[in-house]
């Protein structure tokens, strides 16, 4: 086993749960930078990033339906979970103008946003809104939308679209536009964070770490997974976070394989409890780190400690690999080689981008690169989550660990500061 992390982030990893004052962590003041964030600068930077990527692809207009992408482009936030499955609000972005088409009765919510030039009522082109007349509703939406686009940038131009139903896409294409996928400009824009954005990221992480400290203090034999997870969710909302994107908390035999969300199972004595935060937190920024805890009251077993140390080694080996200018292929070649006994249940990624949610790029394991990987370059300003899941098929518990980092001009900076478990590292 490696001795642990080295480099500019190493000293911050010596803080372990048994050494930390959890009550103090639970009541820690908010990130001192949070009150000094220039949110107008954040919004302006993000919109400029999107427009730059649109220009690079000769996209004259983008129609955004994804609630997170709308918020990224202009700062407008409205019922994000509802909006993620209902085409009830959308944003039109051109080189010179943004028009927010807002859900019925919600046009006032964008008041004061300098990134929104105009707000209009949306036409909801969905079956639940139009019933069997959905086809006509889609054509009406396409005609109205086409009229706006032509007035702003002309006819026959390239228009980026995302997350709208097939009939709406076909109807808009029939209006004479060349439709392309909007994912590329949006994802490439989101990948590089500004200095002010990073203040939002840190504030979201500090709030989420306080929430996880409360969750950690609630873990004990006899409570349910749902009860423990709800402690974190309540604390996230109390601190003005948005929502938890998943419910990835599990215990004992449910820790292997991964991706089992919390349920009514009662946590047993001396079991492992695994958590992946997946929190869309303060200012809409993702706080994404994973920890595995020991429920007590006894000490962890030798097997539990071995799994934990292997996962810890994988995360820190791969953190040490990351540097600006490294290609995605080179990262995969240098990344930690997963032992065969744990290979089948490996996490599907080695690392991934993160911002307002999980995002570009995906960095794949060495063995998966040929089939799933794609190339690119790790750049300063990217924020990445480095993943590990270690669990042998059919062999009891598993361990999930993950760290969130910033790529700097010289290496990385650790962003997620929640302690590891000293008893499991011992």
Return the CATH number at 105: 3.40.350.10
- Non-local CB neighbours of 329 within 8 Å, separated by 6+ positions: 369, 373, 375
Residue 28 confidence (pLDDT) above 80: no
Q: In the listed set 190, 225, 255, which residue is the last one of a domain according to the structure?
A: 190
pLDDT tens across 344-372, in order?
999 999 999 999 999 999 999 999 999 99
For helices 183-190 and 67-74, angle between their N-to-C axes, nearest 10 degrees: 60
pLDDT band of residue 86 (cuts 50, 70, 90) is confident
pLDDT band of residue 17 (cuts 50, 70, 90) is very low
Alpha carbons 424 and 343: distance in angstroms, whole number: 22
* Residue 149 belongs to a domain: yes
Containing structural domain, residue 296: 10-30+192-425
Residue 58 pLDDT: 98
Are both 74 and 213 inside the same structural domain?
no
* Residue 3 belongs to a domain: no
Cβ atoms of residues 247 and 276 within 8 Å? no
Cβ atoms of residues 94 and 77 within 8 Å? no
Are both 140 and 57 inside the same structural domain?
yes
For helices 195-218 and 225-238, angle between their N-to-C axes, nearest 10 degrees: 140
pLDDT tens across 150-188, in order?
999 999 999 999 988 999 999 999 999 999 999 999 999
* Residue 5 belongs to a domain: no
Residue 201, number of CB atoms within 10 A of its CB: 24
Tokens 């009541």 belong to 27
Alpha carbons 64 and 278: distance in angstroms, whole number: 23
Are both 210 and 126 inside the same structural domain?
no
Are both 174 and 207 inside the same structural domain?
no
Residue 25 pLDDT: 47
Residue 342: C-alpha distances to residues 172, 250, 305, 345, 366 (Å): 48, 19, 15, 6, 14
Residue 407 confidence (pLDDT) above 70: yes
Are both 167 and 199 inside the same structural domain?
no
Task: Tell me the whole-structure pTM to 2 decimals.
Answer: 0.91
Q: Domain total for the chain?
A: 2
Are both 342 and 379 inside the same structural domain?
yes
Are both 299 and 386 inside the same structural domain?
yes
Alpha carbons 152 and 74: distance in angstroms, whole number: 18
Q: Which CATH number do you get for residue 300?
A: 3.90.230.10
Are both 48 and 168 inside the same structural domain?
yes
Residue 35 pLDDT: 59
pLDDT band of residue 87 (cuts 50, 70, 90) is confident
Residue 121 confidence (pLDDT) above 80: yes
pLDDT band of residue 84 (cuts 50, 70, 90) is confident
* Residue 1 belongs to a domain: no
The pair of three-digit structure tokens given for residue 187, joined into one six-digit string: 């994802």
Are both 316 and 203 inside the same structural domain?
yes
* Residue 4 belongs to a domain: no
Q: In the listed set 173, 190, 207, which residue is the last one of a domain according to the structure?
A: 190
Q: In the listed set 166, 190, 214, which residue is the last one of a domain according to the structure?
A: 190
* Residue 357 belongs to a domain: yes
In this prediction, residues 133-160 reach a mean pLDDT of 96
Residue 85 pLDDT: 81
Tokens 């449910």 belong to 254
Are both 186 and 197 inside the same structural domain?
no
Residue 18 pLDDT: 40
Are both 172 and 64 inside the same structural domain?
yes
Cβ atoms of residues 80 and 71 within 8 Å? yes
Facing residues of 363 across strands?
Answer: 351
Residue 83 confidence (pLDDT) above 70: yes
pLDDT tens across 181-207, in order?
999 999 999 999 999 999 999 999 999
* Residue 81 belongs to a domain: yes
Kindly compute the dihedral angle of the four CA atoms of residues 309, 312, 314, 318, in this order, to the nearest 10 degrees: -150
Cβ atoms of residues 354 and 383 within 8 Å? yes
pLDDT tens across 273-310, in order?
999 999 999 999 999 999 999 999 999 999 999 999 99
Alpha carbons 273 and 266: distance in angstroms, whole number: 11
Which residue from 375, 372, 326 is spatially nearest to 346, judged by alpha carbons? 372
- Non-local CB neighbours of 6 within 8 Å, separated by 6+ positions: 320
Are both 20 and 153 inside the same structural domain?
no
Long-range contacts of 356-359 (CB under 8 A, 24+ apart): 356/68, 356/71, 356/72, 356/190, 356/280, 356/284, 356/285, 356/286, 357/68, 357/245, 357/280, 357/286, 358/286, 358/288, 358/385, 359/187, 359/190, 359/191
pLDDT band of residue 113 (cuts 50, 70, 90) is very high
pLDDT band of residue 127 (cuts 50, 70, 90) is confident
* Residue 35 belongs to a domain: no
Residue 81 pLDDT: 86
Residue 26 pLDDT: 42
């Amino acid at each position: 086993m490696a001795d642990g992390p080295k480099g500019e982030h190493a000293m911050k990893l010596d803080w372990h749960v048994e050494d930390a004052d959890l009550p103090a962590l639970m009541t820690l003041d908010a990130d001192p930078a949070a009150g000094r964030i220039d949110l107008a600068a954040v919004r302006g930077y993000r919109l400029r990033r999107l427009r730059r990527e649109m220009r690079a692809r000769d996209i004259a207009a983008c129609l955004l339906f994804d609630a997170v992408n709308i918020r990224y482009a202009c700062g407008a936030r409205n019922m994000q979970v509802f909006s993620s499955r209902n085409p009830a609000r959308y944003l039109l972005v051109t080189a010179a103008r943004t028009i927010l088409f807002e859900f019925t009765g919600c046009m006032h919510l964008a008041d004061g946003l300098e990134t929104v030039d105009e707000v209009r009522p949306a036409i909801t082109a969905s079956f639940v809104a139009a019933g069997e007349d959905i086809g006509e509703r889609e054509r009406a939406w396409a005609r109205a939308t086409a009229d706006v686009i032509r007035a702003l940038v002309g006819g026959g131009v390239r228009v980026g679209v995302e997350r709208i139903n097939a009939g709406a896409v076909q109807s808009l294409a029939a209006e004479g536009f060349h439709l392309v996928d909007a994912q590329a400009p949006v994802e490439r824009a989101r990948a590089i964070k500004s200095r002010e954005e990073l203040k939002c990221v840190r504030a979201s992480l500090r709030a989420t770490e306080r929430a996880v400290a409360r969750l950690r203090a609630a873990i004990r034999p006899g409570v349910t997974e749902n009860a423990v997870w709800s402690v974190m969710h309540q604390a996230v909302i109390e601190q003005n976070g948005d929502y938890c994107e998943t419910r990835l908390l599990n215990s004992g035999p449910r820790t292997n394989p991964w991706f089992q969300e919390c349920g009514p199972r009662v946590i047993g004595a001396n079991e492992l409890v695994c958590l992946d935060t997946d929190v869309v937190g303060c200012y809409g920024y993702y706080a994404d780190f994973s920890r595995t805890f020991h429920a007590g009251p006894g000490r962890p077993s030798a097997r539990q400690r071995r799994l934990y140390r292997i996962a810890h080694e994988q995360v820190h080996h791969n953190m040490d690999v990351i540097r600006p200018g490294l290609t995605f292929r080179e990262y995969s070649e240098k990344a930690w080689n997963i032992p065969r006994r744990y290979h089948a249940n490996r996490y599907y990624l080695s690392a991934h981008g993160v911002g307002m949610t999980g995002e570009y790029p995906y960095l794949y394991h060495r063995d998966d690169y040929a089939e799933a990987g794609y190339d690119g370059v790790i750049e300063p300003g990217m924020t990445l989550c480095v993943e590990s899941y270690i669990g042998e098929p059919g062999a009891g518990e598993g361990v999930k660990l993950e760290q969130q980092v910033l790529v700097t001009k010289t290496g990385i900076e650790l962003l997620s500061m929640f302690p590891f478990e000293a008893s499991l590292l011992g």
